[in-house]
Amino acid sequence: MVWNDIKGFLSGGRRSSREVAKGRLHLVLAHDRTGLDGAKLQEMRQKIADVIAEYVDIDADAVDIQIERVSRESTELRVSSPVRTRNSAVS
């Protein structure tokens, strides 16, 4: 895909609509394939945040769930959460 890289460079890093469509489809399909609707996803996020909060100090609102297709056959669900540590500046 060297040629596409060169083209991308020449166009000032602007992604073609083809690339944009690919990215959007990957996200949309990853979500569709889980069969989870927005409300269920929200509910799961809240429950996961509650569990994490039992053990470490976190900002429950900052817990983020990402569903992404990593290959043709597998879709990954990633949970990320910033943790407040004892020596972090924020209290």
Partner 1 sequence: MGKAIVITSGKGGVGKTTSTANIGAALAKQGHSVVLVDADIGLRNLDVVMGLENRIVYHLIDVINGKCSLQKAVIKDRRIDNLYLLPSSQVDEKDAVTEEQMLHLVTKLKKSYEYVIIDCPAGIEQGFRNAIAGADEAIVVATPEISSIRDADRVAGLLAAADIPTRLIVNRISAAMVKRGDMLSKDDVIDILALELLGAVPMDDEIVASTNKGVPATLAGVSPAARAYEIVARRINGEVVEDIDEHVGFFARIGRAIGLSSAA
Chain residues in the site for partner 1 (CB under 8 A): 7, 16-19, 21-22, 24-26, 28-29, 32-33, 72-73
Number of C-beta neighbours around residue 49 at 10 A: 19
Give the separation between CA 74 and CA 67, rounded to whole angstroms.
11
At closest approach, how far in Å is the CB of 29 from partner 1? 5
Provide, rounded to whole angstroms, the least separation between the CB of residue 53 and partner 1. Answer: 35
Burial of 12 (C-beta count, 10 Å sphere; 0-12/13-18/19+): exposed
Measured from the CB atom, is 7 or 40 closer to partner 1? 7
Rounded least distance, CB 28 to partner 1, Å: 6
